[in-house]
Amino acid sequence: MAFGALYKSVSLRMLGDLSKAAGWALPEQELLARYIEEDSFGRRVAIVLKQGHAERTAEGLTLSRKGHRIAAAISRLQQAFAIRASG
């Protein structure tokens, strides 16, 4: 789970992109456009559905049992490490 959190972290990907750029710099608008396009809401919803963490219902998206277990584990980790916001 820790690997997945690191692998999927948008903040860490941004740092990686900056480290690979000439002079370790990119225009803020370029980063903004890159991550809005690549990490759009629709793409994230598709991933959550494909992994079975949520299901489409008449009410919209509903957390699956698997998703609930993962969300509860993440919440406990965030509380343990005093993480107030993520993503």
Q: What is the mean pLDDT of residues 6-18?
A: 78
User: Is a pLDDT exceeding 70 seen at residue 3?
Assistant: no
The full set of domain ranges for the chain reads: 2-80
Report pTM. 0.53
Instruction: Using pLDDT thresholds of 50, 70 and 90, give the confidence band for residue 7.
Output: low
Instruction: Using pLDDT thresholds of 50, 70 and 90, give the confidence band for residue 30.
Output: confident
**How do the residues of the chain divide into helix, strand and coil, expressed in percent and rounded to 5?**
65, 10, 25
Task: Report pLDDT digits (tens) over 31-78.
Answer: 888 777 666 777 888 899 999 999 999 989 999 999 999 999 998 998
DSSP 7-48: HH-HHHHHHHHHHHSGGG---HHHHHHHHHHHT-HHHHHHHH
Residues sharing a CB contact under 8 Å with residue 54, sequence separation 6 or more, in sequence order: 45, 48, 61, 62, 63, 64, 67
